[in-house]
Structures are given as structure tokens and as C-alpha cells.
Amino acid sequence: MAGIEKDKQDQRKTMMLNEPLPKVISKMAVPSIVAFLITSIYNLADTFFVSSLGTNATAAVSVNASLDQIIMMAGSMLAVGAASYISRLLGAKKDEKASRVLSTAFFLALGFGGAVMILGSVFMTPMVRLLGATDTCEQYAVEYATYVLLVAPLMAATFVMNQCLRAEGSAMLSMIGMGFGGILNCFLDPIFIFYLDLGVAGASMATAISKLVSFSILIFPYVTRRSLLHLSIRNFQFSRDIVVQIISVGSSSMFRSGLAVVSAIVLNNIAGAISDSVLAGIGVSTKIMMFPFGIILGFGTGFQPVAGFNWGAERYDRVLDSYRFAARTAFIGAAAMGLALAVFAGPLIVLFAETDPEMQMVGALSIRLQCLALPVHAWVAVVNMFCAALGNAKGAVLLSTSRQGTCFLPIVYPMAYWGGAYGVAAVQAAADILTLFLALPLIRRVKRQIGAAQEAQKRTAGQMINSEV
């Protein structure tokens, strides 16, 4: 058995370093894309089934999307930082240290999730009010948050395991873990909400059970040594080297998640001040846009470990070629997705708001405007992943914090003030366009970094040849 697993591990390394880049990136990306799509489906499933309970219930689920982002905040920091470091360590054949990085990130994520669970449970009502719940949807928001909080530690740790499986080239295992949980949620939602008559609380229970199942599946390859990495409390090492590497790269994801939370809270409160219909419309459009965003993110997470692995192995030609392929594919694919989704935006929103014209208008407009900006968002996402893969923490932080930070927060109040519901619907698309002006100079600097590494490599090779002569 050990010999078989060793052969599989060697095959993964060979794939990363030698297979044609379109093939290996696609092989890594497709399972990730499928997993993200399934995750998007079950996130949307809660909203879809709950929408039959009324606009107020739909608004409550939309508000609690910010709770998921809070849990993601440190979980994603540890996940992205660990995955980037692990891919470079594996490329440099430092497997034991890579396992220590995984274990450290995993147990730190459990601790963060536990803190969120305790604080959220103690301050439940103030929390949902802060997240944007109105008087009319507050009780629904509390019901939904209750059971999600119980699995917050597992959710945070799942992010780490998921990303690290992809980093080692085991994207299929990642897809199975995330995908099975998502499918299960879709089956449990109608049973808990309608058959057991649990309403919004039933949707929360279904989500919690699904998260538990995903966690159980993803941890299996780590503890049974079916992974390149081994998860163990004995491998937990709170060393300066490991923590700094994780945080330096992963902080971009944490800041992004943190700013996403702040932006969502601000937007929820602004939208809720107009009406529950506007709040629900923005929430539904956000859930629907998770599908193209999930494809883009899945493609990016397929590309990132390939770039990082080859960077660690000093295969700089493959690093550049992987970026070129990823950027071109993401831009063209996003343009096609945006066009298709924009055409069907109206009918999609009607599925969630048959009797609410205001919700229909806001939701459809938000979708169509974001679709216009989707190619820009896709390319910027690839640049962001590229920076993270190469350990360029500053660049990754800059782009991660721009979409829902430096390019979003300064414009949300003016657009809402002057445009009302229309301004609220347009703000995310406007922010996406603005991120382009940050990404352009950054990618030029990253390319110069790679060029400098190539020149240094050539000089070293030349010196070795001269010494042999």
C-alpha cells in the first residue's frame, strides 16, 4: 500500500513539472470548478427554498451570508497562505515541512472557528443586527445563524484542508469532499424546511450537517496517509518561519474576506434602509453571481498551485506560460459566461421573487451590470492568484483588498445616495472595473520579478559550465 501511494505522489509531482500546462491546469481546475459550482448550488438552495417563506425570510438568509464570510476570514487566510507555501515546499521536495505547515494551519483554523462560535452564540441578536438584519427579518436571521455557528470550527478547518489538497495536486479529492456536502444540502433543505416544518431553522440545520459531512470526507486522506501531507497534532509547530510565511501570503485573503464582511454589512444596512425587497434582491443576485465567480475562482485555484509548484522548482518558463494560458482563458471564458447570464437574469430572479417587482428589478440589474465587468474581474483574479503563488504578499494583498475595499467602500455611499436602489445595484460592478487600474502595473512588476529570477538562473548555469571547463 505504501509503495502504491508513493507512486501516486511521484506521479502528482511529475504532472506538475512536466505535463503540458493547458492539460495540467485544466486537470487541476476542473475538479475545483465543479466543487465551487456545487457549493454555489447549495448556498443558493437555502435561498431558493426559503424564498417560498416570504421576502423577509429571504432577506434574513442574505444577511447571514456575512456570517459565512466572517468564518471564512481567518480560515481563508490560513488556507491560502498554507497552500501557497505548501506548493512551493513540495516543488522543492520538502515534504515533511509541508506537513508541518498543514497541521499548523489546520489547528489554528479550528481555534479561530471556535472563537467565532462562542462569541456569535453569546451575542447573537446584536450580531445579526450588525450584519444588517431589519426589524422584520431579525428573528429569521437569528434562527439561521444558530446552527451555522455550531459548525464554525469545522468550516474554518475545511477551508484549510480543501486548499491544501489542491496545492498538492489532489483536486479530485477536494471536489469529492466539497461536492458531496453540497449535494447533501440540496436534499436536506426541502426535508427540513417543509416536511419537518422547521422553516428557516431547517435550512440552517441542513447547512450545518452538510458542512460536517464535508469536513469528515476531507480529513480522511490526511489521517490515512493517502495524501502527500500528513495531518497530526504532533506536526503542529507554531514556529516563526511557518507562521510568517502563512500570514504574509494568506493575509491578502484575510483582508479580502474582512473587507468583504465590512462591505456586505455596509451594503446590507444601506439596502435594508430602502426596503427588505432591495436587501433581498441584492442578496439573491450575489448568490446567483457565485456561479460565474465560482468558476473563475475554481480556475484560479487550479492555476495557482501549478505556478507555485514550478516557481519552487525554478521552472520559470512554465511559471510564465501558466500565467499566459490562465489569463487568456479566464478573460474569454468570463466574457462568454457574462453574456449568457445577462440574457437570463430576469427569469432567474423571478424564481426567487414571483410577487415582488422591486426585488426583481434590483436583482436583475445587479446581475447584468456585474456581468459586464466579469471579464475584468476574471483577469484580476488570475493576477491575484499569480501573486499569491509566487509569494508576492504585497501584490496579493493589494488586489485582494481592492474589489471590496479600496475600490468599493469609497463609492458605495455616494452611489446609494445619488442612485438609490439603482446605485446599490451598480456599486459592485463599478468596483470591479476600478480594480483593473491596480492590477495593470502590478502584473508588470511580477513579470520583471520572474525575468530577474531567469537571468540569475542563467548566470548560475553559466558559472557552473565555466568552472567545469
* DSSP characters over 12-54: HHHHHHHS-HHHHHHHHHHHHHHHHHHHHHHHHHHHHHHHTT-
For the beta carbon of residue 137, count every other beta carbon within 10 angstroms. Answer: 27
Q: Give the orientation angle of helix 393-400 with respect to helix 374-389, to 10 degrees.
A: 150
CA distances from 311 to 55, 186, 386, 449 (A): 50, 40, 11, 11
Q: With CA atoms as reference, report the closest residue to 41 among 160, 210, 267.
A: 210
CA distances from 348 to 56, 277, 286, 323, 359 (A): 19, 16, 12, 34, 12
Contact 135, 269 (CB under 8 A): no
The whole-angstrom separation of Cα 373 and Cα 199 is 36
For 255, half-sphere exposure in the C-beta direction (CA atoms, 13 angstrom radius) is 20
Residue 293, C-beta contacts closer than 8 angstroms, at least 6 positions apart: 377
Is residue 7 situated within a structural domain? no
Is residue 78 situated within a structural domain? yes
CA distances from 148 to 214, 281, 286 (A): 14, 22, 19
For 316, half-sphere exposure in the C-beta direction (CA atoms, 13 angstrom radius) is 13
Amino acid symbol at 460? T
Q: With CA atoms as reference, report the closest residue to 28 among 128, 134, 171.
A: 171
pLDDT at position 7? 59
For the beta carbon of residue 358, count every other beta carbon within 10 angstroms. Answer: 17
For the beta carbon of residue 139, count every other beta carbon within 10 angstroms. Answer: 16
Is residue 463 situated within a structural domain? no
From the centroid of its chain, how far is CA 338? 19
Residue ranges in the chain modelled with pLDDT below 50? 1-2, 4-5
Cell numbers found for residue 418: 445619488
pLDDT at position 224? 79
**Cell 462591505 appears where?**
263
Which DSSP state fits 313?
T
Contact 323, 307 (CB under 8 A): yes
Is residue 329 situated within a structural domain? yes
pLDDT at position 329? 94
Contact 204, 149 (CB under 8 A): no
pLDDT at position 202? 93
Residue 449, C-beta contacts closer than 8 angstroms, at least 6 positions apart: 390, 392
Cell numbers found for residue 105: 494551519
The whole-angstrom separation of Cα 290 and Cα 96 is 36
Range of the domain at 163: 20-455
Residue 64, C-beta contacts closer than 8 angstroms, at least 6 positions apart: 128, 131, 141, 144, 145, 148
Greatest extent of the chain over all pairs of C-alpha atoms, in Å: 83
pLDDT at position 354? 75
Is residue 11 situated within a structural domain? no
Residue 250, C-beta contacts closer than 8 angstroms, at least 6 positions apart: 76, 77, 78, 79, 80, 81, 82, 84
Q: Which helix (H) or strand (E) holds 242?
A: helix 240-274
Q: What is the DSSP string of 392-433?
A: -HHHHHHHHTIIIIITTHHHHHHHHHHHTHHHHHHHHHHHHH
Is residue 3 situated within a structural domain? no
CB neighbour class for 156 (10 Å; exposed up to 12, middle 13-18, buried from 19): buried
Is residue 77 situated within a structural domain? yes
Is residue 464 situated within a structural domain? no
When divided into structural domains, the chain yields a total of 1
Q: Which helix (H) or strand (E) holds 289?
A: helix 276-312
